[in-house]
Amino acid sequence: MNASIGNAGVPAIRIIVVGDSLSHGGAGGATDGATAAGKAWLCYKSDTVTQIGPMSKAYNKLGGWGWHVPFANELYALTGLRTVWVPMGYNGTAVTVEGRSDANWDFAAPLNAGNLTVIPSWAGENRSTILPNSTDALSDLCGLTVTQTWVIEVDSWHEEGALINSATMSSSRVTGSMGDMYDWFAANHGATRLYFVRAGVIGVDQAAVTANEAAYAYPTVRTAQMAAENANIWCCFQNANDVGSPFNTLTVDGNGRWSAGSERYDGTHWSEAYANCVGKTMAYNIAVREGLI
């Protein structure tokens, strides 16, 4: 692979994707665009499955359509940087241990356990081996040299929001968990940045949106998320709660990046068009933030 592609020593960004279903895409979709060979690689290795190679729209460890391929393409077009993707998103994953009553992974349990053995099986695949093995696997990825590791978190936060609304969790716990997340990935996997998407509105109509905003304390959650921003933690997309959402009012600019509105195919998950738009916008915002363009 190294000899045929000839990327020995070429710099790349490793991206660890965390969060719930919004972190890994929608339930299907086949036209989100392919990532050409040489731009991005998928690095997924579990007890039962190994997927190491060029990333495309068939990035099935992150679900169907998603923001990942548009992100990878846009970052490459803007900066020439390749990306190596390590998926860790899981449906319904909370950010705090208080947010879940089952065994789904959160970002507090690894801190408490000191390892990743708390990660449950996902379709028969033990995700506890993804990160430990991914570092070794990078040496096989066309000789690319990882210069930075970014963690990108995309999550609905409704578990924590419900707890805030019932006065059993403080908003400062949300803010603190973002810092804990960055600190853990920095200490254990060399993360240099934590980027996140601000929680959006959910609902199939205005009545549902209004009810969910109250039930899940989303205004408070958004404020708590933004309070976590610092030199290493930054919101790379703020507009998921645009007033037009989720009523199919999405508009994009001439570069295919977000301009206004949003589009959610079931009131919660992004449509394919919105995922494409968000991915491109995230990549552009991060490139600007990092001083790459």
Q: Where are the alpha helices (DSSP H) in the chain?
A: 2-5, 21-24, 68-79, 109-113, 130-137, 158-165, 171-189, 206-215, 218-227, 272-289
Residue 17 confidence (pLDDT) above 80 = yes
149 in Cβ contact with 16 (< 8 Å): yes
The mean pLDDT value of the chain amounts to: 77
- The amino acid occupying position 205 is D
Q: Residue 67: what pLDDT?
A: 86
Is the model's pLDDT at 151 over the cut of 80? yes
Q: Give CA separation, 111 vs 170, 178, 183, in Å.
A: 19, 12, 10
CB atoms near residue 79 (< 10 Å): 15
Kindly compute the dihedral angle of the four CA atoms of residues 223, 225, 226, 227, in this order, to the nearest 10 degrees.
80
**Rg of the chain, C-alpha, whole Å:** 18
For residues 181 and 42, give the distance between their C-alpha atoms in angstroms, rounded to a whole number.
22
Question: CA dihedral defined by 118, 122, 189, 52, rounded to 10 degrees?
Answer: 150
Residue 120, pLDDT above cutoff 60:
no
Q: Tell me: the pLDDT tens digits for 53-101?
A: 777 654 444 445 678 888 998 999 999 999 888 877 766 777 776 776 5
Among the listed residues 196, 19, 152, the one whose alpha carbon sits nearest the alpha carbon of residue 95: 19
**Distances from the Cα of 141 to the Cα of 12, 51, 52, 138, angstroms:** 10, 11, 7, 5
pLDDT band at 146 (very low <50, low <70, confident <90, very high): confident
* pLDDT over 60 at 263, yes or no: yes
Give 140's pLDDT tier (boundaries 50, 70, 90): low
pTM summary value: 0.87
pLDDT for 198 beyond 90:
yes
What SS3 state is found at 80?
coil
CA-closest candidate to residue 196, choices 155, 252, 239:
155
Residues of the chain with pLDDT > 70: what percent?
A: 69
The mean pLDDT value for 21-42 works out to 64
DSSP characters over 14-25 = EEEEEESHHHH-
